[in-house]
Structure 1
Amino acid sequence: MEQHIKSLEQEIEELKTKKHPFTIDQIIDCEKKMLMYTTLKADMFNIIDATLQRFPLNYVDGWTPGAISRRDQLLMTLMKLKLNSPILDLAERFCTSKATIHNIVTTHIFALHEVFFEGMIDNKMPSLLKCKSSMPASFGDFSCCRLVIDATEVTQDVPGQDMNAQSHTYSSYKNRHTVKSVTGVAPNGAVVYVSKLYPGSTSDVAIVDHSNMLAQLSPGDMILADKGFTIHSLLPSGVHLNIPPFLKDKGQYTPAEVQMCRKIARSRIHIERVNERIKNFEILSHIPQQFRHISTKIFQVCSMLVNFQDPMIAEIAENFAQNQQ
């Protein structure tokens, strides 16, 4: 009996010193922790996980990490995107190697991009009829609006010793080196378009032209944008652009122009709030060197994940809650 007790005491001491890997089961029942680590509530995490589980993963480094479940691999990837946790930190949390973390995170970024961005957002802009079916009251003056667009910039390191590349990425607007994307939301606040990343010096008009985003629009559609999008000459036939009026040489706006500016600003605020949510993913504040080659995929995946968060507009959120009941 004494030997058995001694053996059990020794086992207890070993268990006390043994590290236990971080898992989704430790946080799935706590909404605050889920939002902090992943930006998602448990039901949305489960939907993404169940969808990814339907497809086999081809790991980028050529070997399958079998010791970590697919659910925890997804958690690991979302933590990298949301918190930009260092690879070593994730390796310590999940009790594995840095090589395994890199293999898992890179693979899941590719998988999330292929399944949810390419499969749900890319080249699949909702029709005007669908937009009207969920159009909030704030768009009462723009009932033909199909898309609200804006440009957003994220910081990047100075690109090496290449002076030409440095000049292209330097943004005179931000006074630092950046990369830029044009994002678009439907009137209900859902992200429906995200361009690839361009050097920070690229104009908004040039991005719209090169990305060919206007090809998805149809006669009768309207775009809301700010003054930087002087894209009238690029618009397909029958597509309208609504931007705030320019002051030019006038001393002040007319009352009608002031009212128009207010209406456009009230409707455009949603795209600015969406871009703010995108930038809440800390990885976009400094994309690590080992992930720089997939920076566009990372940005587009972060943009896609915004659609799995709570609805941006209170009116849409209330309708969603009623449909869930």
Structure 2
Amino acid sequence: MGMVSKLYLKKGVIPHIFSCQKDRESSHIRPQRAATVKRQRISLVADAMEECQEMERVNECLNESLGSTEYPLPLPNTPEDTPGISCGENSKEENCSKNISVQVNTMLKNVRSKGVQCSPRTVSNSTSPLKLPKQPKKAVEDMELSAEASSSSEEEMQAPSDDSYEFGEEDILDSFPLGGVMDVSSAIIKRIKVYPRLYIGLPVDSYTVIEKLCEFTKCKEGEIVLTLKKIRLNEQFEVLGHDFGISKSQASRIFAKILPLMYSYLRGLIIWPSSFDIKMNLPIPFRARYAKVESIIDCFEVEIEKPSNPLSQALTWSEYKKCNTLKYLVSCTPDGLVNFVSKGYGGRASDAAIVEDCGFLEVLPSGVSVMAEAQAQLKHIDGLLTKKGCQLVRPPIVASGEVLNSMQVRETKQIAALRIHVERVISRLREFRYLVLHACISHNAISKKDMVVAVTCGIINCQGRIV
């Protein structure tokens, strides 16, 4: 650890922070928390309400100033508005006493008048802190009429009728039934049926899977489509609720309810074909030297949120991806059919440990070949495959400093060109945005991740061939 003194660790804690992981925080993308978003929305609403109240106060002051008859506005170019000139006649002395608040010396700068401090009812452009534009005579009359109409209808406004009530977003969402998804509009159903590969990952000729799911799960078509659309596009539940006419919480409950039912049905599409069927559909490049290959294996990872437990952080940290991940083992036939998928493991687990523990060796027939990438870790499973009478096909590995000869280079190219099919299967998995590398799955959704991966593999088997 680079420390001179002794390092004391608590029981059950293993080292998980190293000098080579300085950028681990920068590589982790934390989603914005719901509480923070809620506080921001509340503050925005409060600011908007304050602005509305301030505008109402300004409008009230303007209406009072324009509609006031007790203190009329002085006419321009009169002695009353001229600073420093006193009123000579007795009739004007009364007006001067009333308009004493607006008699200021405009030659002095940075001087506040008494009218500004006392807020008189008579407001002029010289004393008002708000420099209002001049209103035309017709506009002033219209405003006076509107003020009289508003004052006469105050009692009616205090008791609004049901017809004049405006529903907000929460009222609209709460008015929907909670028993299930409402009938989806014909436009959305038509759009999904025309482009099912884009929205739910199924090709057009395999859309009958939705009908079979409805018969098996006894659920509505809208609920099945909502769950598949969440896996395919990874949209927020609020957006899905707007599309299907439900609330955000109801969309989340539907996803949690339908996913286990779909998993129990679609996992049956992940099958291991017989050796005869695999050889009948074997691609031509495999038939010359690798006709016994029935499985091509590889692992893929999906990022998750950084766990709060230090032990969980160490177990899920992936040095290859530089983030906390879940790792899955995928096996496919030479023509691209997914025949096995494992449960999720921590990103720290090696590929050999996953192959040994996930149950892949139990379903693997004897006397076949398994193709894998050139990893030094996979040489440990060579002995396990030999016990079952199977063979591991992988590119040759040489020690550091050595150079491959011409035969080894040719063999590496041949195996790499055939092993790429499992990478194409994984690329189809990545088309579902719920399984992209940096999806950053939350802690609440980790328990559903295995079911999502199995459902996605079943949907992939309904698509066309890779080769």
| Shift >4 Å, 4+ stretches | 18-24
Q: Which has the higher contact order (CA 8 A, sep 6+)?
A: 1
Q: Is the 8 A contact 1:128 1:146 kept in 2?
A: yes
Unaligned runs of at least 5 residues, structure 1: 1-17, 58-68, 314-325
Number of equivalences: 279
Q: Amino acid of the residue matched to residue 202 of structure 2?
A: L
1:136 to 2:283 alignment: yes
CA RMSD between the two structures: 2.1
Report the Cα distance in structure 2 between the residues aligned to 1:28 and 1:165, rounded to whole angstroms: 40
Residue 295 of structure 1 aligns with which residue?
449
1:73 to 219, 223, 229: 223
User: TM-score under structure 1 normalisation?
Assistant: 0.80
1:244 to 386, 392, 395: 395
1:265 to 416, 436, 441: 416
Q: Is the 8 A contact 1:128 1:145 kept in 2?
A: no
1:278 to 2:425 alignment: no
> Residue 232 of structure 1 aligns to a residue in which SS?
helix
Query: In the TM superposition, what whole-angstrom CA distance separates every residue of 1:286-316 from its partner, at most 9, and x where no partner exists?
Result: 3344422211111221222111222211xxx
Residue 207 of structure 2 aligns with which residue?
45
Cα distance, 1:29 vs structure 2: 4.7
Cα distance, 1:54 vs structure 2: 2.6
Cα distance, 1:109 vs structure 2: 1.6
1:168 to 2:330 alignment: no
Cα distance, 1:50 vs structure 2: 2.3
1:83 to 2:233 alignment: yes
Residue 62 of structure 1 aligns with which residue?
none
1:126 to 2:273 alignment: yes
Q: Is the 8 A contact 2:305 2:443 kept in 1?
A: no
Residue 93 of structure 1 aligns with which residue?
243
Residue 327 of structure 2 aligns with which residue?
180
Residue 305 of structure 2 aligns with which residue?
157
Query: In the TM superposition, what whole-angstrom CA distance separates every residue of 1:108-161 from its partner, at most 9, and x where no partner exists?
Result: 2212211111x232xx422222210100112122100010000111111101x2
1:304 to 2:466 alignment: no
Cα distance, 1:42 vs structure 2: 2.7
After superposition, residues 208-219 of structure 1 pair within 5 angstroms as 208-219=355-366
Q: Is the 8 A contact 1:134 1:188 kept in 2?
A: yes
User: TM-score under structure 2 normalisation?
Assistant: 0.57
> Residue 53 of structure 1 aligns to a residue in which SS?
helix
Q: Is the 8 A contact 1:127 1:146 kept in 2?
A: no
Q: Is the 8 A contact 2:396 2:412 kept in 1?
A: yes
Residue 189 of structure 2 aligns with which residue?
25
Identity %: 27
Q: Is the 8 A contact 1:147 1:187 kept in 2?
A: yes
Q: Amino acid of the residue matched to residue 150 of structure 1?
A: D
Report the Cα distance in structure 2 between the residues aligned to 1:240 and 1:208, rounded to whole angstroms: 14
Of stretches 201-210 and 213-222 in structure 1, the one that deviates more from structure 2 is: 213-222
> Residue 298 of structure 1 aligns to a residue in which SS?
helix
Query: In the TM superposition, what whole-angstrom CA distance separates every residue of 1:60-90 from its partner, at most 9, and x where no partner exists?
Result: xxxxxxxxx7222111111100111101111
Report the Cα distance in structure 2 between the residues aligned to 1:21 and 1:181, rounded to whole angstroms: 35
Q: Is the 8 A contact 1:28 1:42 kept in 2?
A: no
Cα distance, 1:178 vs structure 2: 0.7
Unaligned runs of at least 5 residues, structure 2: 1-171, 174-182
Report the Cα distance in structure 2 between the residues aligned to 1:206 and 1:21, rounded to whole angstroms: 46
> Residue 54 of structure 1 aligns to a residue in which SS?
helix
Q: Is the 8 A contact 2:217 2:261 kept in 1?
A: no
Cα distance, 1:21 vs structure 2: 4.3
Of stretches 165-174 and 231-240 in structure 1, the one that deviates more from structure 2 is: 231-240
Query: In the TM superposition, what whole-angstrom CA distance separates every residue of 1:36-63 from its partner, at most 9, and x where no partner exists?
Result: 21122232122x1122123245xxxxxx
Q: Amino acid of the residue matched to residue 440 of structure 2?
A: H
Bigger Rg over Cα = 2
Report the Cα distance in structure 2 between the residues aligned to 1:52 and 1:29, rounded to whole angstroms: 15
